[in-house]
């Protein structure tokens, strides 16, 4: 009798696990890879902050660099930024930049500034939360900079 009860209990637990796993898989809370992004995924203003290191004198030493600002994207591949930064303790306010961005269907992409104080800055990006946040990493060999932009 004990064996029958134990076997029945094991079968019931296994069935419950299958039901829970199946329901979780189809649950709206289940984690799924984001797909289907385009330049139109990013529109409006994003509060942006970054920190890391920049090499001021080619190859000699890295200095800390951080900043905050507003990144504006138009959903058509154009981007502008207004920011304040601290590079090795020197504060710069009212800095600007303009350029372009690309977005791949897998929600990765790139960002490139071609004018203003940010001219020459480039980064690879990943879009998070359907466009509510953008994470970026500088692609310049003279920098190690991480950037986070959150939709305002």
In a shared domain, residues 82 and 145: yes
Looking at residue 142, what DSSP letter applies? T
Share of the chain above pLDDT 90, in %: 71
- Is the domain of 23 the same as that of 45? no
Q: Distance between CA atoms of 133 and 124, rounded to whole angstroms?
A: 14
Structural domains counted in the chain? 2
pLDDT score recorded for residue 13: 35
The pTM assigned to this predicted structure is 0.75
Do 88 and 138 sit in the same domain of this protein? yes
Residues 89, 17, single domain; the answer is: no
Dihedrals phi, psi of 108, to nearest 5 degrees: -100, 170
What pLDDT is attached to residue 56?
Answer: 77
Mean pLDDT for all residues in the chain: 83
* Rounded Cα gap, residues 108 and 57, in angstroms: 31
Mean pLDDT of 23-50: 74
User: Containing domain of residue 27, as a range?
Assistant: 1-32
Cβ pair 30, 121 in contact under 8 A: no
> Are 63 and 56 a contacting pair, CB within 8 Å?
yes
Are residue 22 and residue 59 in the same domain, yes or no?
no
- 42-51, pLDDT tens digit by residue? 999 999 999 9
């Amino acid at each position: 009798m004990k064996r029958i009860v134990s076997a029945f209990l094991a079968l019931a637990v296994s069935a419950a696990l299958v039901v829970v796993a199946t329901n979780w898989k189809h649950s709206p809370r289940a984690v799924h890879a984001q797909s289907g992004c385009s330049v139109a995924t990013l529109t409006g203003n994003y509060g942006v902050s970054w920190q890391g290191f920049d090499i001021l004198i080619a190859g000699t030493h890295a200095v800390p660099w951080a900043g905050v600002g507003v990144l504006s994207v138009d959903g058509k591949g154009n981007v502008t930024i207004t920011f304040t930064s601290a590079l090795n303790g020197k504060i710069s306010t009212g800095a600007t930049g303009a350029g372009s961005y690309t977005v791949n269907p897998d929600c990765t992409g790139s960002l490139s500034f071609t004018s203003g104080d940010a001219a020459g800055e480039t980064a690879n990006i990943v879009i998070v939360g359907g466009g509510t946040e953008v994470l970026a990493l500088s692609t310049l060999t003279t920098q190690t900079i991480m950037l986070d932009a959150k939709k305002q």
